[in-house]
Amino acid sequence: MRQSDEKHILGTASTEILLWSSRRDLIAVSNSSGEVFLRRLSWSKVWKLSKRGEGVKVTAIVWRPDSVILAVGYSSGHVFLVDVESGEVVHTFNPCEEPITALSW
């Protein structure tokens, strides 16, 4: 992908995390603004999860093994579970006050 394509897709923010689904034709992408995009391998947009606050960054992303839920960890210590089909946050929790550094199912 050319740099100009990335700016068009993610705005002026840079890509931080890319994570492919092992079961579906999907890729989760976070940017330096704290947004998360779900895209098809053809790069068509499925949905966008808006940033969670000023200065809050996405620090970890993991697919549930069946690729139905995406877990997103933030620098604020929050974890959001997102329904892949709808882009809706189905559960949130705050296990700590420190940035989430890793997630695993």
What is the structure's pLDDT at 41?
87
**Beta carbons within 8 Å of 53's beta carbon, 6+ residues apart:** 34, 76
Measure the CA–CA gap between 99 and 103, rounded to whole angstroms.
11
**What pTM does this model have?**
0.86
What is the structure's pLDDT at 24?
93
Q: What is the pLDDT of residues 37-53, one digit of tens each?
A: 999 988 899 999 999 99
Can you read off the two tokens belonging to residue 97? 């006050």
Can you read off the two tokens belonging to residue 67? 């690729």
So what's the architecture of 3-93 in CATH? Answer: Beta Barrel (2.40)
Residue 5 — pLDDT band, cuts 50, 70, 90? very low
* Domain regions of the chain by residue span: 3-93
Q: What is the pLDDT of residues 20-41, one digit of tens each?
A: 999 999 999 999 999 999 999 8
pLDDT at 8 over 90: no
